[in-house]
Amino acid sequence: MQSIDDIILRNINPFDNFYCPEFINHNLEEQSTISYLHQETFIKIETLLSQNLQDHITRTALITGDSSCGKTYLLNSLKIKLNYKSFFVKIPPFAKRDSIWRRILRYTVDSLVKPKNEKITSPLLLYLSKIKEEKDKLLNFFKSDKQNFISKMKEKYKKVKIHNADDFFSILYELTTPELYELAIRYLRGDDLAAESLKSLGVEKSINTETTARETLTNLSIITCEIQPIIICFYHLESLPKLPNGRLDLDALFQINAKIREDNQNIVIIFSINSHRWQEYQEDIQKLYPESIDQEIELKDVSLAQAELMLGSRLESLHKQAKSLPSSPLYPLNRQFLERSFPIGRMNFRDVSIYGKSVFNAYKKWLLRDEQKTDFNLHKNIQDKLDITYYFKVRWYEEFSQIQQQISKIHKLSSTELIQILQDVLLLFGIKEVATSLFIRSKYASYSLSYQLPNTEQNIGIVWTEDENSESFFYAMEACRKTLEKNPSLKLILIRSQDLSSSQSRGYQVYQDIFLKPQHRYIIPSLDSVHYLATYHSLVKTAREGDLVVGSKVISLRNLQSLIAATRILDDCDLLQDLGIVKNPVNIDDKNYDSRGEMNVFKPIKKHIDVKNAKDYIFNLVITQSCLSRQVLLQKAVSVFSHLSELQLDNLIQQLCWENKIKIIDPKAHPSVQLVVLFPGK
């Protein structure tokens, strides 16, 4: 085994991505640390949960605190700590009032069908298994026909109101049919399915209204009551839409809260909001919705003892790899460093993580300079003069990787969400007059926006609809036609990855009348382009909350926009290229263009871009970490670029060595013990 200093040199800074749930360990040691850090908060939330288990009355908790107090970490911690006795659902901010219930349903279903861990199946299938094992053999739907199952389930729940019971229980039945499982999930989450899909499920229409979405959520809360309660958490509230008077539409969420409390019996609601924002709205909310909050929780600065525990919990895994445990659980940090850095004895959560990251980086650099003859001087070495763009690129690629895992298909996002993330990017590029709801007084208003390109007077309208149902597509096309009648000079762009419906359908006929004309366009977006938009949108929400930390700096929304512009990291987004927002790369081979100079739909450049980005990630990771073992570097690259092979990524490490960008200190050693550093002079 190696010394602790060797371990430090070879590994990633354990304080990177401190807030991200994917990087929180799920072991018992980490959970005990989490419990201690937020002990009072956990007791209060668990009390609400225990009360719900006893009387099934829905309750609400409000968590407030400064942007640096650790609300994000707390929510991730609650999800881990309470995972064994609740279904935890995180709801991102809504884009439009007219689709709030459908958004809540979509994310609730996604949580209920996702396995809790490797040993426990998804909650919905867990419920169905419980029904299967009941003593009443008539409910064993594996041995009975579908209609008999529906009848028996209606009898089972006759004392409570199940909305649209025939369709709801029909879908539950199909969840046990492997060939219809995915389709049944899509129905439950509110996707507007094609008529053929609905027929195969045995239902007439999709959940495509706010009322049916709300009623389906109520149904789910009733049946999951037999297993565990649902915790619904509303967070990132700084990204809520604004009312005409400029205030956040917080009222809409408390209307939802009131309705859930009235209609649902098995839910605990959590709001997470910055203290200054809550103070601004508190009086109005309490007047309109008295007794709508059962527990208010304010997060405050942490003590030195808590800071030590936070830092020690992150260093523990490195200490366990060493041949002997260091004298202090904080090594290479220590209590004296903390006391000198935070003389008042208390600090905010974010500053603790930034402090840990900075000291760890400084110590690593000190080890590399062979300065062990003198003691490590914190104040002399902690200054990080590295350009923040290096840290940002690492953060971007890792965030992008997480988004790729979350969004496996474009229809995972609703059309409203897709327009929302596109709007964020348009604002980033300084597009003028960006306005949502191109379609006025239309059900499909939230599927559209309009804007004006810089240095032109041309008004452009965008419609992004991914609804599969041919009737829905027709009405979206009709909304396009009516809009053009009122504004003939408008240039209209249809974005859609789904099929355009049958050539004989009404929707397709209207599509032809509009989008086959030269002044309008039809763009088929790639999944990769959606990942670009969604990654930026995710960072925007974090920046608005004041929680976006890059390197050791807190990044505002304006800083984020500057970093995007400086790195030009969105230039490879093909949808933005097709919209003319960014230019096509100039180094793309001519074979990627057709005879008219248009980009081919099946352009073979995706792999090239992936390899380029992976190489950039590896280089920037070495820069920001100062030193890594080749094995750890390769493991990180594999985790972020999982679609590339380990051999490809290892070859990129070798290429960077040949280009004199990075250096392997001991190239003749076994790869498992080789160290990688930045090439001298770089």
With b meaning 16 or more CB within 10 Å and e meaning fewer, what string describes 382-403?
bebeeebbbbbbbbbbbbbbbb
Q: Which residues are CB-contacts of 447 (< 8 A; sequence separation ≥ 6)?
A: 415, 416, 419, 439, 463, 464, 465, 476
Among 85-89, 145-149, 361-365, 568-572, which stretch is predicted with the lowest mean pLDDT?
A: 145-149
421 backbone dihedrals φ, ψ, rounded to 5°:
-70, -30
Distance (Å, whole) CA 247 – CA 609: 41
Q: Are 236 and 91 a contacting pair, CB within 8 Å?
A: no
Q: Are 496 and 524 a contacting pair, CB within 8 Å?
A: yes
Long-range pairs, 111-114, Cβ under 8 A, ≥24: 111/87, 112/87, 112/220, 112/224, 112/230, 113/185, 113/188
* Predicted confidence (pLDDT) at residue 529 exceeds the cutoff of 90: yes
For position 573, what pLDDT does the model report? 95
**What percent of the chain is helix, strand and coil (3-state, nearest 5)?**
55, 10, 35
Distance (Å, whole) CA 18 – CA 4: 22
Q: What is the separation, in whole angstroms, between the first and last Cα of the chain?
A: 32
Q: Are 4 and 331 a contacting pair, CB within 8 Å?
A: yes
For position 585, what pLDDT does the model report? 66
Distance (Å, whole) CA 31 – CA 308: 16
Take residue 628 and report the two structure tokens written for it.
Answer: 């890594």
Instruction: Count CA atoms within 13 Å of residue 190 on its CB side.
Output: 27
Distance (Å, whole) CA 378 – CA 341: 10
For position 588, what pLDDT does the model report? 43
Question: pTM for the full model?
Answer: 0.91
Distance (Å, whole) CA 99 – CA 65: 28
pLDDT bracket for residue 31 (50, 70, 90): very low
* Longest CA–CA separation in the chain, Å: 82
For position 96, what pLDDT does the model report? 85
- Per the listing, tokens 């909305």 go with 163
Mean pLDDT (whole number) for 235-247: 92
Mean pLDDT (whole number) for 384-410: 92
pLDDT per residue as tens digits for the range 268-319 = 999 999 999 999 999 999 999 998 999 999 998 889 988 998 899 889 989 9
Take residue 487 and report the two structure tokens written for it.
Answer: 């504004």
Mean pLDDT (whole number) for 587-606: 42
Mean pLDDT (whole number) for 356-361: 90
Torsion of CA 671, 672, 673, 678, to 10 degrees: 60
DSSP 8-state code for residue 241: P
Report the 10 Å Cβ neighbour count for 208: 17
Local structure of 551: helix, strand or coil: coil
pLDDT per residue as tens digits for the range 245-273 = 999 999 999 999 999 999 888 899 999 99
Among 37-41, 48-52, 295-299, 411-415, which stretch is predicted with the lowest mean pLDDT?
A: 37-41
For position 373, what pLDDT does the model report? 54
> Domain 610-678, what fold?
Arc Repressor Mutant, subunit A (1.10.10)
Take residue 142 and report the two structure tokens written for it.
Answer: 């594996």
* Predicted confidence (pLDDT) at residue 621 exceeds the cutoff of 60: yes
Q: Which residues are CB-contacts of 101 (< 8 A; sequence separation ≥ 6)?
A: 210, 211, 213, 214, 217, 256
pLDDT per residue as tens digits for the range 653-669 = 999 999 999 999 988 88
pLDDT per residue as tens digits for the range 57-102 = 999 999 999 988 888 888 888 888 888 888 899 999 998 888 899 9
With b meaning 16 or more CB within 10 Å and e meaning fewer, what string describes 410-433?
bbbbbbbbbbbbbbbbbebbebee
Mean pLDDT (whole number) for 548-566: 93
Distance (Å, whole) CA 30 – CA 323: 22
Q: Are 407 and 530 a contacting pair, CB within 8 Å?
A: yes
Q: Which residues are CB-contacts of 222 (< 8 A; sequence separation ≥ 6)?
A: 157, 160, 162, 265, 266
* Predicted confidence (pLDDT) at residue 443 exceeds the cutoff of 70: yes
- Per the listing, tokens 């049946």 go with 223
Distance (Å, whole) CA 393 – CA 614: 11
Local structure of 597: helix, strand or coil: coil
For position 134, what pLDDT does the model report? 58
- Per the listing, tokens 């060939």 go with 179
On average, the pLDDT of the chain sits at 86
Classify domain 402-560+573-583 by CATH number: 3.40.1340
> Domain 39-86+229-298, what fold?
Rossmann fold (3.40.50)
Say which residue, 239 or 453, is predicted with more confidence.
239
Kind and range of the H or E element at 296? strand 295-298
For position 647, what pLDDT does the model report? 95
Beta strands in 14-122 (DSSP E): 59-65, 87-91
Distance (Å, whole) CA 188 – CA 218: 12
pLDDT per residue as tens digits for the range 459-501 = 899 999 999 999 999 999 999 999 999 999 999 999 999 999 8
For position 378, what pLDDT does the model report? 60
Distance (Å, whole) CA 560 – CA 569: 12
Distance (Å, whole) CA 578 – CA 582: 8
Kind and range of the H or E element at 220? helix 210-224
Local structure of 62: helix, strand or coil: strand
pLDDT bracket for residue 593 (50, 70, 90): very low
How big is the chain, counted in residues? 682
Report the 10 Å Cβ neighbour count for 365: 14
Percent of the chain at pLDDT exceeding 70: 88
Distance (Å, whole) CA 512 – CA 515: 6
Among 5-14, 354-363, 666-675, which stretch is predicted with the lowest mean pLDDT?
A: 666-675
Q: Are 100 and 222 a contacting pair, CB within 8 Å?
A: no
The residue extents of the domains of the chain are 4-15+305-381, 39-86+229-298, 100-227, 402-560+573-583, 610-678
Q: Angle at the Cα of 617 (from 611 to 619), degrees rounded to 5?
A: 105
For the chain, give me the number of helices (H) and strands (E)? 27, 17
Distance (Å, whole) CA 639 – CA 23: 12
Q: Are 493 and 419 a contacting pair, CB within 8 Å?
A: no
553 backbone dihedrals φ, ψ, rounded to 5°:
-120, 145
Distance (Å, whole) CA 627 – CA 199: 59
Distance (Å, whole) CA 604 – CA 652: 20
Q: Which residues pair with 462 in a beta bridge?
A: 449, 493
pLDDT bracket for residue 120 (50, 70, 90): low
Kind and range of the H or E element at 115? none
DSSP 8-state code for residue 2: B
For position 35, what pLDDT does the model report? 54
Q: CA Rg, the chain, in Å?
A: 27
Distance (Å, whole) CA 638 – CA 442: 46
Q: Which residues pair with 677 in a beta bridge?
A: 627, 663
pLDDT bracket for residue 32 (50, 70, 90): very low
